[in-house]
Structure 1
Amino acid sequence: MKVLVTGTAGFIGSNVALKLLERGEEVIGFDNLNDYYDVRLKKARLARFIDHPRYTHVHADLADRGAVEKTFASHKPQRVINLAAQAGVRYAAENPHVYASSNVIGFLHILEGCRQHPVEHLVFASTSSVYGANTAMPFSEHQPTEHPLTLYAATKKANEQMAHSYAHLYGIPSTGLRFFTVYGPWGRPDMALFLFTKAILAGEPIKVFNHGKHKRSFTYVDDIVEGVVRTLDKVPGKNANWSGSAPDPASSGVAPYRLYNIGNEKPVELLRYIEVLEHCLGRKAKMEMLPLQAGDVPDTEADVTELIQSVGYAPKISVATGIDNFVSWYRSYYCE
């Protein structure tokens, strides 16, 4: 199977590409290697598979319509996994246009590629941030998500709606995955685990928002990748149980379309997360306690019942094991 994977220099995208190559697929990677964070890390991720005989890399930006059109026309992928996006919740306050360019216009170009060169299945990244002002726990795909609290979340909500419209109009089977706080080796330097580890090793204080009292469905990257690949193999159809009334937000009566949460069902309090990190590093953290940041939600908790029933998704890696794996990777990459 030939799979176009966007964001292959990214944290999740690089691991998805590796997984697909390991199981014998042909992968067309697409990434612009932007400088949102250290490009050297992105190149190091790519170096793990860029010379693989079944891997082809396209160095381009999703916002470049011509480059996306050329990629679809030249390689004719059978399936697409769209993971490329401008990430980061807080960066949007300073650079809102980048989010619109990458996450909205870029995604439109992917949808048009799927329309002009019909694909069997489009899987795309959404986020738990779309739940926004919702406080009903656990978060379920059957709940409405009409009140995002950040521009990043709003762009991902837009992706879900755009994909549904194309699934309805052009019959493109599409599945959106709402990721919950992904962590692990090769992670993003702007995320908490990376920032905490760097600061603790340097003897510097870490910023602990909401006084560490909020909870997150921290999900190890290997568990995320397994879910992404299993979802790729599960092509959605129309909801046969639709009664003709208001469609379920998680599926659709008029289009081959599904939304799934993908995360760990056991949320962990941030202070416990830090405690595990301290144990793995063998050092205590100096903590600067701060109030909840604007745009942050107090808690996230993933209900992944739908994904379990659909593809047998079951996260396996505990926070203790996952953080230990990250620390081992961090020391080998930065300290040796």
Structure 2
Amino acid sequence: MRIAVTGGCGFIGSHVVDRLLAAGHEVLAVDTTDQYLNPAAEHARIDVLDLPALTSVLGGSEVVFHLAAMADVERVAADPVRAVRTNIDGTEAVLEAARRSGLSRTVLASTVWVYGAALTENELDSGEQELDEHVPIELEHSGHLYVATKLAAEMLVHSYRELYGQHFTILRYGIPYGPRMRDELVVARFVQAALAGRPITIAGDGRQSRNFVYVEDLADAHVRALSPAAEDQTFALEGSTAISVREIADTVDRLLGPVSIEHIEARAADYAGRRISAAQAKRLLGWSPRTNFADGVRRYADWYREATAVTARPRTGRPSGAA
């Protein structure tokens, strides 16, 4: 099968490309960069907002995975206009290009952050209620602009199914971590601080928790999502165990320490974390996360050491222009 992946040279997208190629698919990575481009994949260096170019390159593909987005919540808050254009207008362009090119399905990358706006049976619910893909969403509680853009993108996907018969799959990612992740992500920041001998800084009291999911486990779910059982379905790809920010720091300390830990003011509109069920992904896709958190942190640390060593390694050979 020929598959296009927008954002296919980024953190998660590049792992998705790797896994699709390993499964025997023909893959086109659509991205404005080639940072983590797999040489076995085709590459189209275009912006997803360029509808004519996107329509042209999607021709011949059967499915598009749409991962290109502004995912850094701090950047979203700092540049809301760009965030809306990238995350909402970009999704619209991908859906329309897929429709014009006759693709059979669009797979949208969403996030478990949308569950922060979930309506529970008790509005004073403490977060103990486990939520699934069918829980109602209260738009007035969307909170962070990042969540609003992802909810809007999901609504567009449903509208294209209703109006044009375009099939979809929505994948709501748990908090991803692993090789190639952005330096701003909490696991990356803590590991890099420990390796550099700097203190680890925790926003708030450190009790806020996330169900982290290792990026290669996440990529595996994308291959499984090509199944007919995933058509017109939404899946929460949540990690299996809640890990508090303090526990992340303690894990890094055990693996790479000793390190000192400092606390600063909590981040505004942060995702507080909810109990989210991944049962539907297990039932319909046979997917569940397999990588232990500490093992995933260790693999990231090993990758980061190697990546920085390669960057720092002096170049050898003749100087440019030499005969």
Superposition TM-score, scaled by structure 2 size: 0.88
Partners of 2:71 and 2:242 in 1: how far apart? 22
**In the alignment, residue 11 of structure 2 is paired with which amino acid?**
F
Partners of 1:69 and 1:326 in 2: how far apart? 36
Q: Which moved more, 1:157-166 or 1:61-70?
A: 61-70
Contact 1:133/1:297 (CA < 8 Å) preserved in 2? no
Pair 1:329-2:303 in alignment: yes
Pair 1:158-2:152 in alignment: yes
Aligned mate of 2:54, from 51, 63, 68: 68
Aligned mate of 2:289, from 303, 315, 320: 315
Corresponding residue of 1:202: 196
Structure 1 consecutive aligned stretches of length 4 or more whose deviation exceeds 6 Å: none
Cα offsets for 1:244-266 (capped at 9, x unmatched): xxxxxxxxxxxxx2211002131
Gapped regions of structure 1 (runs ≥ 5): 34-41, 238-256
Corresponding residue of 1:280: 255
Partners of 1:292 and 1:261 in 2: how far apart? 26
Partners of 2:186 and 2:133 in 1: how far apart? 26
Q: What count of residue pairs does the alignment treat as equivalent? A: 300
Partners of 1:297 and 1:80 in 2: how far apart? 28
**In the alignment, residue 10 of structure 1 is paired with which amino acid?**
G
Corresponding residue of 1:9: 9
Deviation at 1:76, TM superposition (A): 2.0
Deviation at 1:291, TM superposition (A): 3.9
Contact 2:116/2:272 (CA < 8 Å) preserved in 1? no
Contact 1:120/1:235 (CA < 8 Å) preserved in 2? no
Deviation at 1:96, TM superposition (A): 0.9
Corresponding residue of 1:188: 182
Alignment of 1:94-173 (within 5 A): 94-134=78-118, 135=127, 137-146=129-138, 147-173=141-167
**In the alignment, residue 150 of structure 2 is paired with which amino acid?**
K
Partners of 1:236 and 1:187 in 2: how far apart? 27
Corresponding residue of 1:58: 44
Q: Secondary structure at the match of 2:188?
A: helix
Deviation at 1:9, TM superposition (A): 1.1
Partners of 1:83 and 1:180 in 2: how far apart? 14
Deviation at 1:198, TM superposition (A): 1.7
Q: Secondary structure at the match of 1:132?
A: helix
| Percentage of identical aligned residues | 31
Contact 1:173/1:235 (CA < 8 Å) preserved in 2? no
Partners of 1:298 and 1:288 in 2: how far apart? 20
Deviation at 1:169, TM superposition (A): 1.3
Alpha carbon RMSD of aligned pairs, Å? 1.6
Q: Secondary structure at the match of 2:68?
A: coil
Deviation at 1:200, TM superposition (A): 1.9
Corresponding residue of 1:259: 234
Structure 1 pair 235/112, CA: closer, same or farther in 2 (3 Å)? farther
Q: Secondary structure at the match of 1:212?
A: coil
Deviation at 1:235, TM superposition (A): 5.0
Partners of 1:291 and 1:201 in 2: how far apart? 24
Gapped regions of structure 2 (runs ≥ 5): 119-126, 311-323
Superposition TM-score, scaled by structure 1 size: 0.85
Cα offsets for 1:48-83 (capped at 9, x unmatched): x22x2xx210101111222212212xx321111111
Aligned mate of 2:271, from 297, 310, 318: 297
Deviation at 1:12, TM superposition (A): 0.8
Corresponding residue of 1:224: 218
Structure 1 pair 133/284, CA: closer, same or farther in 2 (3 Å)? farther
Contact 2:3/2:65 (CA < 8 Å) preserved in 1? yes
Contact 2:51/2:97 (CA < 8 Å) preserved in 1? no
Corresponding residue of 2:121: none
Aligned mate of 2:206, from 199, 212, 218: 212
**In the alignment, residue 68 of structure 1 is paired with which amino acid?**
L
Contact 2:11/2:180 (CA < 8 Å) preserved in 1? yes
Contact 2:128/2:275 (CA < 8 Å) preserved in 1? no
